[in-house]
Amino acid sequence: MKRRSTRYLCAAALVLAAWTAIPPHAFAQAASPIDESLNLAWVLIAGFLVMFMQAGFAMVETGFTRSKNAVNTMAMNLVIYPIGIIGFWLTGYAFMMGGVRAWPALGAAQIGHTELSLSVGGHSWGFLGASKFALASVSHDPASLAMFLFTLVFMDTAATIPTGAMAERWKFSAFFIYGLFMSMFLYPLYGNWVWGGGWLSQMGVNLGLGHGHVDFAGSSVVHMTGGVTALAGVIVLGPRIGKFRRDGAIGALPGHNLPMAVIGTLILAFGWFGFNAGSTLAASDARIGVIAANTMLSSAAGALTALLYLWQRFKKPDIAMTCNGLLGGLVAITAPCAFVTPAAAVLIGIVSGFVVVSVVIGLERIFRIDDPVGAIAVHGGCGLWGALALGIFADGSYGEGWNGVAGPVRGLIAGDGLQFCAQLIGVAVNLVVIFGLAWIFFTIIERTIGNRVLAEVEWSGLDSLEMGSDAYPNV
Amino acid sequence: MKRRSTRYLCAAALVLAAWTAIPPHAFAQAASPIDESLNLAWVLIAGFLVMFMQAGFAMVETGFTRSKNAVNTMAMNLVIYPIGIIGFWLTGYAFMMGGVRAWPALGAAQIGHTELSLSVGGHSWGFLGASKFALASVSHDPASLAMFLFTLVFMDTAATIPTGAMAERWKFSAFFIYGLFMSMFLYPLYGNWVWGGGWLSQMGVNLGLGHGHVDFAGSSVVHMTGGVTALAGVIVLGPRIGKFRRDGAIGALPGHNLPMAVIGTLILAFGWFGFNAGSTLAASDARIGVIAANTMLSSAAGALTALLYLWQRFKKPDIAMTCNGLLGGLVAITAPCAFVTPAAAVLIGIVSGFVVVSVVIGLERIFRIDDPVGAIAVHGGCGLWGALALGIFADGSYGEGWNGVAGPVRGLIAGDGLQFCAQLIGVAVNLVVIFGLAWIFFTIIERTIGNRVLAEVEWSGLDSLEMGSDAYPNV
Amino acid sequence: MKRRSTRYLCAAALVLAAWTAIPPHAFAQAASPIDESLNLAWVLIAGFLVMFMQAGFAMVETGFTRSKNAVNTMAMNLVIYPIGIIGFWLTGYAFMMGGVRAWPALGAAQIGHTELSLSVGGHSWGFLGASKFALASVSHDPASLAMFLFTLVFMDTAATIPTGAMAERWKFSAFFIYGLFMSMFLYPLYGNWVWGGGWLSQMGVNLGLGHGHVDFAGSSVVHMTGGVTALAGVIVLGPRIGKFRRDGAIGALPGHNLPMAVIGTLILAFGWFGFNAGSTLAASDARIGVIAANTMLSSAAGALTALLYLWQRFKKPDIAMTCNGLLGGLVAITAPCAFVTPAAAVLIGIVSGFVVVSVVIGLERIFRIDDPVGAIAVHGGCGLWGALALGIFADGSYGEGWNGVAGPVRGLIAGDGLQFCAQLIGVAVNLVVIFGLAWIFFTIIERTIGNRVLAEVEWSGLDSLEMGSDAYPNV
């Protein structure tokens, strides 16, 4: 077995080495125009901040799970990052962004372009991009590589979300395969439809529905995709042992390190500024000031709503839920952040706080679904709410020409009901397609290698039996 | 009770929704000049770094407190952030910056401007700004919103400081009300006087005292305000049970996680680069290079001074105090960072190390004041020292036209004794006004809902009885 | 004793105060050209990110060591930062960069310049720079101070590496002296040879060996220097008690907090973007996009290689080694990141994964060398590999005129075997000179104050007896 895998690795190495010898074509290192330089730096710095959210997710999820599973939860959050990089490099970026010709604000010179169209209408109905596999055709184009980095870290955010909801019982090998599926195919599919020039983005041009489905920084593309995938995974995987007892009681199974979860939440809030403000893809777009302030206001409103609502209800401030309320506010403002006023951002955050609390309680008590960290509520619930909120509150002050449609983006209040329809269709398609494909994927895994560790592994903790090392061996 | 609060929330939501429908006026998305774009990006990135300091404060304070209060200490550091955002959004920004017409370096187009003047001299003696409440009049101005974000995270830094000094015994509801008081009124008051065009900044123009009170990035405005407020709070609140025994002995009450405090210190040092270098409000001001290097040099000198001084005195390197020395060096260089040479920065840091150690020991042994994390020494003591240090070491190489006074800023050594006077007046006013108002505030709370948890809550730890959850429930 | 040290401090303070009074010469604050402003901001932000890696190192190293030594390991990672700042300020920067006239991309105006040449050939064979001691001659030059900050944080990275390899048995006083030696002399020496215009960088001009030794961001300058110094230190210091038993068995001595190490790894990966992309010293160089993507791809390939290799070999995913594989991929891509294609970056990362695993196992089993955190393998092994990889994979698409040699940088595959020779010479010199000088240094310390704590201190843990405080005193 060892010799065989070594042989595979050598073969892969040879292929890679061959690539490196491709003669570089036309590398005039002409000085870029200064605004392109500024925008390229902006996209990269924003991408770095989003990458750092990996540490935030790792801390939130591990803090909310038990110490006997701390290595496993950390490991999933760590390993999804390299899996995602390699998977997205191989096919994900090509499927998602292969149909995008260039990034003019970043000074891109696109090299090579093919569009795989499965639909009748040509480009605008393309179902998947099909160029730039393994970045081979754009290996020296700074703008394309910066966009690879930037879109990748968004994908990794989506891919990390299910590791929280499915924590404490997921087989590491099944998780590993999931990571490849998510980064190579599932995320890029919906991502292409909204951000890669695909059909959801073209509903404005083609069907007259406002500007098509608009999602500024990923309430639906990133967070709903992650949350809906998590929901499918959790349904197939089932609850943790001890969560739902035979007598109907619900076990608490508290996490092992609340301070860790709080710090993770603050790291996420920090990185989120890159997530949202970076999504202009340009610091030369002064809207970044509005976006950053809105992001912060919505997070605050979400946090305080969850805190005050539960405080007056249960007489104690619930800090775990305050964290989730803050994150819910961030998730919800992600789609509309560039299109709404600060006051609307506060309102969107307030609603998010209620959404998080209700969905957490509803999933657990009504649907008896076990999500240890509240990921489905935060990312799925508030992601859905955020995409709709854009269709309600977009005030017509931004988005001129978005998705090829003249005029700014307006929601219901500003008089464009069709934009709201486009938002509704976008989230409905996410719910149906992402849930469906994820459920099929998890079911196939279930029938083959299985998704879940053995009961004795779950009892002892995944760290000792699945991972082979304890989190805190000699404290 | 539940129904009433829900009603309030619905009313608030309706008001907010109404705001969102305000028709946007004049949104020409003209491309900004490139230097304005660069500066806007700089202010935002710096603001993000300062926001991340929240995580640093949370780790330092929680690491220095006991595990039975870890959730409570974390919670205060987490929740002050959203409280501060909402409070500063509602009134704080308006009180502090309402009198500032525009941010030309950021390309601001100010909309609406009213100045509430309580004094005789018109604008220059204004006691509080009075426009831009809830950002309503500037809801689409990127520069104003970026400045809201930037000034807010500074306020949040000040507001976090007392949560360390008053930790392990402060009632969460009293803390919550304090958060609103600080963000909505107390910080903006002094902030307006120094940074909002208020009377301390105008002492140069009006009284001939150098350039008026000059504070580049907040030694007095941010850190002294936080430290002095903490002092007032601690005096009203009293020491922790077990700190000062009847026989005169002083209990050690060591924190529970020194590594956490060290990481928090490094996070603060990281974010501080945004704090200081961002305060140019312009990357087009090359002084950012000097500021960043000075910031780092002073922190190093503060850390090594505290370390070596205590090492030779007690024969062991004291790492907790090394952290505080490093932070003290950062606090002290915050006011003078743009005006002094690297050598002066080192000297300022050396003095800070001694200030931190002496004030920590003095407060505890002489005044029997109990500050679990040393916040009063670090922020109050070194904040005062830093504001004076500017008046000593400013070398006349920077600050041309500062606060409307011709010529660069010079301190005592460079021959301007009146600048030193302006610095002295600034810190004296901070001591008197901030201490006075904070003391009155805490005393009112004491006589109404009370500041302090019951003794049995303090004994058991605030986590179980006040917060309802343990920090480390199943390790 | 106390009075004497106080006297020294006063004397130092007087000298510093004298400096601050130097009259500032010619401070025309003319607006910089916009591209210089952008580049200055870029270098500073990148430097801040690299500084933050201090927190990452602290967490990785402390997580991989035992709780009884957690304060000591944290303390070394904390204190090396201020030691390094002061040491590099006093002499390190002068020795390393004193011969560099100006930083044109940052708008530098160099003031004062002397070159101490120990060799026969004048400037190009200079062995050490000799101007800008204590930054005195450039105290108001933003570009020089920004470069001080930027080169300093790279030095601090190198200086931190041995604190991991030598952890759990190193006397704190010996470590303190080492910190001064490293920052004031050892690192600047090799740094001068490669980055300060020294002889290794001039082997192209003088000997026709490609572009001389090329190291884009520090595989050899930073990481190999750190790793090789660590190797010398560990050899002099010897293994921890209990590591290599008399019967030949090897003790495991597992670290105390694997989640902490994982978070530290992610922080390092975050900061590394500043390390590599910042090393263009210019955001106006669009190559930053390529560099950032390559950095990420190599880290992913290193992590997955280590993970999959050990997983198939030992049937469990080894998360600690996955962290080291990820870091190894980062170390190796650091030298070639700007010169190679994404596919080559993946290949370099794959090799790094094998290098890390083999060197960790080889050092322990064959050479019986005890490195608790794998620092020698990660930084020394992959640093060496990265410097050579540049000589193999540089594809001729970048580096026009590098080190004064016409044409781009090409490695073996692109047909320049002499470049590979220059890389080989560079790493050989690092191995011989750095190892030799470090070994001499550690041997002198061994014969004077001693490098190692007493056996009883090691048994009880360094925290209680060496540092005087426990990491987790009341959990």
pTM, two decimal places: 0.94
Tokens of A36: 């392109």
Residues of chain B with C-beta less than 8 angstroms from the C-beta of C45: 45
The answer to whether the Cβ–Cβ distance between B32 and A297 falls below 8 Å is no
A239-266 pLDDT tens trace:
999 999 999 899 989 999 999 999 999 9
Q: Which residues of B are less than 8 Å from A328 in CB distance?
A: none
pLDDT reading at B84 higher than 60: yes
Quick one: pLDDT at residue C108?
Answer: 54
Q: Which residues of B touch A352 (CB under 8 A)?
A: none
Start-to-end CA distance of chain C, whole Å, equals 38
Contact: A395, B12; criterion CB under 8 Å = no
b/e per residue, B428-456, with b = 16+ CB within 10 A? ebbbebbbebbbebbeebeeeeebbbeee
Per-residue pLDDT at A3: 53
Nearest-Cα residue of chain C relative to residue A471 = C258
Beta-carbon separation of A270 and B473 below 8 A: no
Residue B112 pLDDT level (bands cut at 50, 70, 90): very low
Checking if the pLDDT of B391 tops 70, the result is yes
> Which residue carries 């003249």 as its tokens?
A406
> Which residue in C has a C-alpha nearest to residue B411's C-alpha?
C21
Q: Write the DSSP string, C335-400.
A: TTTTTS-HHHHHHHHHHHHHHHHHHHHHHHHTS----TT-HIIIIIIHHHHHHHHHHHH-BSSS-T
From the CA of C82, how many Å to the nearest CA of chain A?
Answer: 25
Q: Give dist(CA B335, CA B324) in Å, integer.
A: 18
Rounded Cα distance between B180 and C17, Å, is 43
Shortest alpha-carbon distance between residue B99 and chain C (Å): 27
Residue C90, Cβ density class (10 Å: 0-12 exposed, 13-18 middle, ≥19 buried): middle
Q: Mean pLDDT by 10-residue block, N- to C-terminus, for chain A (475 residues)?
A: 55 57 42 87 98 98 97 98 98 91 67 34 58 91 95 98 98 98 98 94 96 98 98 98 93 95 98 98 95 98 98 96 98 98 98 98 96 98 98 97 96 97 98 98 98 97 95 81
Q: Which residue of C has its CA nearest to B307?
A: C79
- C19, C37, C110, best to mutate vs chain B, most B CBs in 10 Å: C37
Question: Nearest residue of A to residue B37 by CA position?
Answer: A284
Contact at CB, C24 and B397, closer than 8 angstroms: yes
What are the b/e assignments for A23-58, b being 16+ CB within 10 Å?
eeeeeeeeebebbbbbbbbbbbbbbbbbbbbbbbbb
Q: How far apart are CA B131 and CA B109, in angstroms?
A: 14
Quick one: angle between helices C142-165 and C187-195, nearest 10?
A: 130
pLDDT value for A24: 41
Nearest beta carbon to residue B342 from set C40, C75, C139: C139
Contact B139 A347 (CB under 8 A): no
Is C80 in contact with B322 (CB distance < 8 Å)?
Answer: no
The answer to whether the beta carbons of residues C411 and C392 sit under 8 Å apart is yes
Q: How distant is the Cα of B341 from the closest Cα of chain C, in angstroms? A: 6
Q: Tokens for A124?
A: 């605008």
Chains that touch A (3 or more CB pairs under 8 A): B, C
Query: Does the complex come out with an ipTM higher than 0.90?
Result: yes
Closest-CA distance, A288 to chain B, in angstroms, reads: 7
Whether C381 and C359 have beta carbons less than 8 Å apart is answered as: yes
H helices within C278-318, ranges in order? Answer: 288-314
pLDDT, position A99: 84
CA nearest to A49 within chain B: B48
Cross-chain CB nearest to A67 (options B52, B152, B475): B475
Q: Is pLDDT above 80 for B332?
A: yes
Structural domains of chain B ordered from first start: 30-104+111-467 (1.10.3430.10)
Query: For residues B61 and B73, is the Cβ–Cβ distance under 8 A?
Result: yes
Please give chain C's pLDDT, 475 residues, in tens. Answer: 445 555 665 566 556 555 554 444 333 344 568 999 999 999 999 999 999 999 999 999 999 999 999 999 999 999 999 999 999 999 999 999 988 867 778 875 444 333 333 332 233 346 888 888 999 989 999 999 999 999 999 999 999 999 999 999 999 999 999 999 999 999 999 999 999 999 999 999 999 999 999 999 999 999 999 999 999 999 999 999 999 999 989 998 999 999 999 999 999 999 999 999 999 999 999 999 999 999 999 999 999 999 999 999 999 999 999 999 999 999 999 999 999 999 999 999 999 999 999 999 999 999 999 999 999 999 999 999 999 999 999 999 999 999 999 999 999 999 999 999 999 999 999 999 999 999 999 999 999 999 999 999 999 999 999 999 999 986 5
* Contact call for C82 and B396, based on CB within 8 A: no
Work out the pLDDT band at B452, boundaries 50, 70, 90.
very high
Compute the nearest-CA separation of B333 from chain C (Å): 14
Residue among C35, C67, C270 minimizing CB distance to A475: C67
Please list the residues that pair with B452 across neighbouring strands. B170
The span from the CA of C168 to the CA of C164, in Å, is 9
What distance in Å separates residue C193's CA from the closest CA in chain B? 24
Find chain B residues with C-beta within 8 A of C84's C-beta. 300
pLDDT of residue A126: 61
Per-residue pLDDT band for B342 (boundaries 50, 70, 90) equals very high
Q: Is C203 in a helix, a strand, or coil?
A: helix
Other C-beta atoms within 10 Å of A278: how many?
27
Q: Tell me which chain C residues have a C-beta less than 8 angstroms from the C-beta of A145.
A: 289-290, 292-294, 342
B38, B140, B475: residue with CB nearest A397: B140
Do residues C196 and C155 touch, judged by C-beta distance below 8 A? Answer: no
**C313 contacts in chain A (CB < 8 Å):** 2
Q: How far apart are CA A94 and CA B18, in angstroms?
A: 44
**Of the candidates B292, B304, B317, which has its C-beta nearest C44's C-beta?**
B292
- CA–CA separation, C121 vs C109, rounded Å? 26
Residue type, position C209, single letter: L
Contact at CB, B260 and A259, closer than 8 angstroms: yes
Between chains, do B469 and A287 touch, taking CB under 8 Å as contact? Answer: no
**What are the two backbone dihedrals, phi and then psi, of residue A98, each rounded to the nearest 5 degrees?**
-60, -25
Average pLDDT over residues B256-273: 98
Map tokens 């030193």 to a residue.
Answer: B420
Q: What is the DSSP letter of C67?
A: G
CA dihedral C337, C349, C189, C375 (to 10 degrees): 150
Residue A179: C-alpha distances to residues A188, A331, A400, C399, C441 (Å): 13, 22, 37, 37, 48
The number of residues in chain A equals 475
The pLDDT assigned to B8 comes to 62
Q: Residue C292 is nearest to which of A31, A36, A44, comparing CB atoms?
A: A44
Q: What pLDDT does C29 receive?
A: 42
What is the distance between the terminal CA atoms of chain A, rounded to a whole angstrom?
Answer: 38
Interface test with C, best of B68, B168, B263, B291 (most C CBs within 10 A): B263
| pLDDT at res. A1 | 42
Q: How far is A204 from chain C (nearest CA, A)?
A: 33
Beta bridge partners of residue B116, listed in sequence order: B128
Yes or no, beta carbons of A75 and C320 under 8 Å apart: no
Structure tokens at B364: 């505890």
Spatial distance between the Cα atoms of B94 and B144, rounded to a whole number of angstroms: 11
- pLDDT score for B16: 59
**Inter-chain Cβ pairs, chain B and chain C, closer than 8 A:** 230
Strands A128-129 and A115-116: antiparallel
Choice between B116 and C103, residue whose per-residue pLDDT is larger:
C103
